[in-house]
Amino acid sequence: MKTQTNIDTSAEGRRVLEQLRQLGPFLPASMTTTRKKCGNPNCRCAGQGPMHETTLLTWKEGATTRTLHVPREMRDEVAAWIAEWRKLKSLIEKMGDAQRQFLKTRRESTKRSSPSS
């Protein structure tokens, strides 16, 4: 990674970079849990017992939506990865705003300081 200078980014941009460094593992996907009966008439789910919970991870690959089963013991961890992904997405947005703003400010200050010849 190259050295940060004042010319690279705005103060806001540097704050975003700092937050980026603190991110944990992230996963661009969403997770849904559904409850359903398995169809076995002798199963607990056919009577009073709780229905079966299935947790699925879904994400897009191009135009295709992919799914993957998430084991019960992994749910909390996967949820944390997805939360980090949301943070990353908002940091990307913030960085975009900061850099565009920075560019605008620089253009304006260049215009002001250069004599029109």
The answer to whether 35 contacts Zn ion (rule: CB under 5 A) is: no
The answer to whether 38 contacts Zn ion (rule: CB under 5 A) is: yes
Q: In whole angstroms, how close is the CB of 52 to Zn ion at the nearest point?
A: 5
The interface region with Zn ion, picked from 5-13, 38-46, 77-85, 96-104 by CB under 5 A, is: 38-46
Bridge partners of 34, per DSSP, are 54
The answer to whether the Cα torsion of 84, 85, 90, 94 is positive or negative is positive
Phi–psi pair at 43, nearest 5 degrees:
-80, 155
Q: In whole angstroms, how close is the CB of 56 to Zn ion at the nearest point?
A: 18
Among 33, 35, 43, 108, binds Zn ion (CB under 5 A): 43
List, as own/partner pairs, every contact residues 74-78 make where C-beta atoms lie below 8 angstroms and the sequence separation is at least 24, other chains included.
75/31, 75/33, 78/27, 78/31
Phi–psi pair at 63, nearest 5 degrees:
-90, -5
The interface region with Zn ion, picked from 8-16, 41-49, 67-75, 94-102 by CB under 5 A, is: 41-49
Binding site residues, Zn ion, CB under 5 A: 38, 43, 45
